[in-house]
Structure 1
Amino acid sequence: MHLGILTGGGDVPGLNAAIKAVVNEAHRMGWRVTAFRRGWAGPVNTDAADPSATPNSHMALTPDLVRAVDRTGGTFIHTSRTNPSRMKPDEIPDWVKVDREPDAHGRIDITSHVLGVLNTMEMDLLIAIGGDDTLSYAARIHTEGMKTMCIPKTMDNDVFGTDYCIGFSTCVTRSVEMINRLRTSAGSHERNMIVELFGRNCGLTALAGGYLADADRTLIAEVPFDLQRLADLLTEDRARKSSNYTVSVISEGARIINEEIIQSGEEDAYGHKKLGGIGERVAAGIKQLTGTNIMVQNLGYLLRSGGPDAVDLIVAKNYGTMCVQLIAEGKSGLMVGIRDGCYATQPADISTKGEHRVDVDGLYDIDQYRPKIARVEGIPMYLR
């Protein structure tokens, strides 16, 4: 059997461990594995008539090649946010036969080319590792005749259909460590510290980071907040402390009541603009309202960089191994995941069927702007 594999979207710690597990388990069964480089840009930039003419778009994977890759973070086969169903004309290689007209936004669907590449390379099944966007496209091509399997990864842990996505534990672990490190500067200068974390639509990273680091206030993407109310709370927090400083955590997708989410730049292939800047906006507002100097730190890519923790290693390894085992059983069109604490599967398109968001009623105090676990018994381990 010939398996394909790719990683799409943002990088997270644990991707290499999942790739290694797929390769080793497939090799044990006598199968071969080919990686597409740079996510869906791999098949897009492969010449369907002669794949060997575009060697930079794909590579054969062997146990020897992946032997040590799990010791580092990121994805050694690279990634991108390419979406073959919404390509700009100038992004399409010359050898691709365009058989559709541009949509209203000038984007072109070249899925027929992707399917042609997979057919020419005689791939039996493609394993896609990614978030909602990457996996939704994998689910689509499964319905169009190419067998696929999906492995969920996101720093936000927000893929619908699984309790856990590769990358989340390392992200939260680093968040807590860095938030606590930043206390020394905030305390030394007696300031309010605003720490901005990942979270476009789901505030789980900020919720968990703020909860575990015992931040004074935590602002999540799901709950718009009042700036004056926040300023008053932080003033009370500082007055109550002999150290005379505060630390607040905020999701990049959080917003002030009656204001829009702060985003910039051009939409990517999946319709997303770049988030970031809410920390600076809040800092400016708090300073104006209180007269207190503010420190702002956007942790951003620091949370993606470096190797995975033990949780992301074991989950990634088991997701990769599980995928190949299921394929050996003749199964496809599935997303592996964790449900109720156990490894399980869902249909590949499950990520398109709903949203995973913070359980605000059970996990958040909307008046105090901080995590509040209404009742621990019965809730998922990772606060889902």
Structure 2
Amino acid sequence: MGILTGGGDVPGLNACIKTVVWRAEEMGARVLGIRRGWHGLLHFNPEDDAPQPLHVVELQKTAIRAVDRSGGTFLHTSRTNPALVVPAQFPDFVSEDGYKIKKDQKRDYTGHILNVLEKLGIDLLLPIGGDDTLSYAAHLHQKGVPVISIPKTMDNDVFGTDICIGFSTAVTRSVDFITALRSNVGSHERIGVVELFGRHSGETSLMAAHLAGVDRAVISEVPFDMERLARLLLKDKKSNPSNYSILSISEGAHMRGGEKVQYGSPDAYGHLKLGGIGFVVSEALKKITGERTIYQQVAYLMRSGAPDALDRMVAISFANLAMELLGKNQSGRMVALRHGNYTHVPATTAVEGKKTVDVDELYDKETYRPKVKSMLGKPMFLY
């Protein structure tokens, strides 16, 4: 088997990898760790018979026994997309013949990836990633590669599963940071603006806002009116005996009639960097209300450190489910949690839609607050 982690790191990845390796040894299977996600396969030279530990390493039980005690991914990660490789990333040992040049001089190296998988003798590929990483896994599945995908992302926006590895810890970290920041915002009697990750989906941000009891929460799905938001936060501040208020905002949020705050060059999946909308809002609040603000971008701290208990459980359970599918000779699947139960869906499910907040059920667009119409029948995480 080959296992890799792609896209952003999250807590729980190492626990998932460790469980796969331990189960594989029990089943008499070898596990190859592919380093830096799809980058490892892209830059592996199938004509070179010497070991290439920069790209692929064999994983053994005794060598990785302690990896689950830390966050991140010891296999490292990247946002490489072998179907759209920019010239600077072209492997110099691969012949140009047969590799179609796409727009902007990008090249599809899927043929090379298939050759590498054959050279390595990989009978099953276990990619752990978000919708970008798993979209290429679905592409390989359609090319005949046996794949069992494992969803991870702190945004919790992989289509087809209610929970992804990394989501729980991101919410926990965010609640802790918002709660801690109250001491600073309250001491200085200001309006606090906390910017959280969340590109297309404000689910992590909204859940954190709901649990931390912020005054107002702006999410990616709902454009906001700056003037109204300012009035509401000023009202919240004046009605608070400690004379402060707190706003949480998703990095993908934008004002009505405005654009998302993006910068940099597109990555391999066409995404620009997001971040800074909290600063824009913080500056606007100063001008509109005349109040001082404290702006805090939580960013990578949301997915830093070791996983919480729930992310450990999901990571280990997803790994065990993947190995169970292997034992039944089933592939072309993505492990998932749906309606509180572990299950599996077609690997192509990850690219069939975008998972976003059910705004009508969970959010008040007029007051910019989390709102749960009814708890009866709701899953534990509401989404």
Q: Report TM bin, short chain.
A: over 0.9
Please tell me whether residue 74 in structure 1 is matched to residue 77 in structure 2.
Answer: no
- Aligned in 2, Cα 1:51/1:383: closer, same or farther, shift over 3 Å? farther
Partner amino acid, structure 2, of 1:46? F
| % same residue | 51
Cα deviation 1:289-337 (Å, max 9, x = unaligned): 0111111001011111100000000110011111111111110000001
Which stretch has the larger CA shift, 179-188 or 84-93?
84-93
Tell me the number of residue pairs that the alignment of Structure 1 and Structure 2 aligns: 382
Please tell me whether residue 378 in structure 1 is matched to residue 377 in structure 2.
Answer: yes
DSSP-derived class of the 2:228 partner: helix
Cα deviation 1:209-244 (Å, max 9, x = unaligned): 100000000000000000000000011101101100
Structure 2 CA distance, aligned partners of 1:139 and 1:91? 22
Cα deviation 1:180-235 (Å, max 9, x = unaligned): 00000000100000000010000001100100000000000000000000000011
Partner amino acid, structure 1, of 2:170? C
The match for 2:129 is 130
The match for 2:244 is 245
- Aligned in 2, Cα 1:51/1:82: closer, same or farther, shift over 3 Å? farther
The match for 2:113 is 114
Structure 1 CA distance, aligned partners of 2:221 and 2:200? 7
The match for 2:56 is 58
Please tell me whether residue 40 in structure 1 is matched to residue 31 in structure 2.
Answer: no
Which stretch has the larger CA shift, 362-371 or 103-112?
103-112
- Aligned in 2, Cα 1:51/1:260: closer, same or farther, shift over 3 Å? farther
Structure 2 CA distance, aligned partners of 1:373 and 1:264? 34
Structure 1 CA distance, aligned partners of 2:81 and 2:352? 19
The match for 1:29 is 27
| C-alpha contact (below 8 Å) 1:51/1:121 kept by paired residues | no
Please tell me whether residue 337 in structure 1 is matched to residue 336 in structure 2.
Answer: yes
Q: What stretches of structure 2 of length at least 5 have no aligned partner?
A: none
Q: What stretches of structure 1 of length at least 5 have no aligned partner?
A: none
Structure 1 CA distance, aligned partners of 2:182 and 2:272? 31
Partner amino acid, structure 2, of 1:303? M
- Structure 1-normalised TM-score? 0.98
The match for 2:92 is 94
| C-alpha contact (below 8 Å) 1:47/1:53 kept by paired residues | no
Alignment of 1:1-384 (within 5 A): 3-50=1-48, 52-98=50-96, 99-384=98-383
| C-alpha contact (below 8 Å) 1:333/1:348 kept by paired residues | yes
Deviation at 1:66, TM superposition (A): 1.5
Deviation at 1:51, TM superposition (A): 5.2
- Structure 2-normalised TM-score? 0.98
DSSP-derived class of the 1:65 partner: helix
Structure 2 CA distance, aligned partners of 1:239 and 1:168? 34
Q: CA RMSD in A?
A: 0.9
Structure 1 CA distance, aligned partners of 2:49 and 2:147? 20
Deviation at 1:382, TM superposition (A): 1.2
Deviation at 1:101, TM superposition (A): 3.2
Structure 1 CA distance, aligned partners of 2:73 and 2:52? 20
Partner amino acid, structure 2, of 1:245? Y
Structure 2 CA distance, aligned partners of 1:134 and 1:105? 21
Structure 2 CA distance, aligned partners of 1:262 and 1:170? 25
Structure 1 CA distance, aligned partners of 2:34 and 2:251? 31
Structure 2 CA distance, aligned partners of 1:357 and 1:55? 39
DSSP-derived class of the 1:185 partner: helix
| C-alpha contact (below 8 Å) 1:8/1:130 kept by paired residues | yes
| C-alpha contact (below 8 Å) 1:45/1:54 kept by paired residues | no
Which stretch has the larger CA shift, 50-59 or 218-227?
50-59
Structure 2 CA distance, aligned partners of 1:285 and 1:230? 10
Structure 2 CA distance, aligned partners of 1:319 and 1:4? 16
DSSP-derived class of the 2:105 partner: coil
Deviation at 1:100, TM superposition (A): 2.3
- Aligned in 2, Cα 1:376/1:51: closer, same or farther, shift over 3 Å? farther
DSSP-derived class of the 2:337 partner: strand
